[in-house]
Amino acid sequence: MRLGLFGGSFDPPHNGHLALCLLARELLGLDRLIISVSKNPFKAPSDAPDDDRAMMARLLAAELNSTGSIVEVSGWELCQPGASYTIDLLRHVGDAHPGAELVLLVGEDSYRQMHSWKSPAEIASLCRIAVFGRSGFSAEGQDSDITLPQALIHEFDMPVSATAVRALIAAGQAVTHLVPQSIAAYIASRGLYH
C-alpha cells in the first residue's frame, strides 16, 4: 500500500491544498492519503482553534473523497503535548501501517526548510519525499552549506496561501474563489478570522 501523508496547520485549508492532494493522488498512485493537522513549531500560533482547524480539514477530506474515497484526517498531532514534528508523525503512521510505503507530501517552501526540521535524515529514511514546487524549481542550486534530502520534484504552481485567505476575510472580502465552498461556509458560520 502506498500511503501519502500531508501535514499542515490548515488555518484554513484552501484550494491549493485541494489541488495538491488531487495531483498527488494521481501522480503518485496513492492508495490512501492521511491529512494530519499539526501544531507547527516554525509558525506563529494558529488563528483558528484546533477543533475548528480539524473540522475544516475533515471538510477538505470530504471534498477530496467525492472523487474517490481514500482520504482520512488524523488529529494525532493535535493530541500530542507541545509542538508537532514530522518525524514523530512518520514513526506513528509507520507503526500503525507496517509494510506501507510512506510518501510525505510537502510544498517547495517547506522542503527548502527541511534541513532545520527535527531529524531530517531519519525522515528521509522512513519515507519518500514528494515536493510540489513552482515551475523551474529543483533541489539543485541550493545553498552549498545546506543539504536537503533526496526528493521527487513535481511542478505545482498555485499561488494561494492561508495567510492571504485570512487577510481577505479580516478585510471583509469574499474568499469563495480561494477555498472550497464547504470550508467558506464553515468559516462564515463560526466567524473565524475576523
Provide CB contacts within 8 A for 67, sequence distance 6+.
22
Distance, CA of 157 to CA of 137 (rounded, Å): 10
Computed over every residue of the chain, the mean pLDDT equals 92
**132 phi, psi to nearest 5 deg:** -110, 110
Distance, CA of 1 to CA of 75 (rounded, Å): 22
Distance, CA of 148 to CA of 90 (rounded, Å): 18
Is residue 127 packed enough to be buried (19+ CB in 10 Å), middle (13-18) or exposed (0-12)? buried
How much is the pTM? 0.92
Per residue in 48-105, pLDDT tens? 999 999 999 999 999 999 988 999 999 999 999 988 899 999 999 999 999 999 999 9
C-alpha cell at 177: 474563489
What domains lie within the chain, and their CATH numbers?
Answer: 2-190 (3.40.50.620)
Q: What is the pLDDT of residue 139?
A: 63
The strand order across the sheet containing 32-37 reads: 71-74, 32-37, 2-8, 101-107, 128-133, 152-155
**122 phi, psi to nearest 5 deg:** -70, -35
Per residue in 124-148, pLDDT tens? 999 999 999 877 676 654 555 677 8
Per residue in 12-31, pLDDT tens? 999 999 999 999 999 999 99
**pLDDT-above-90 percentage for the chain:** 78
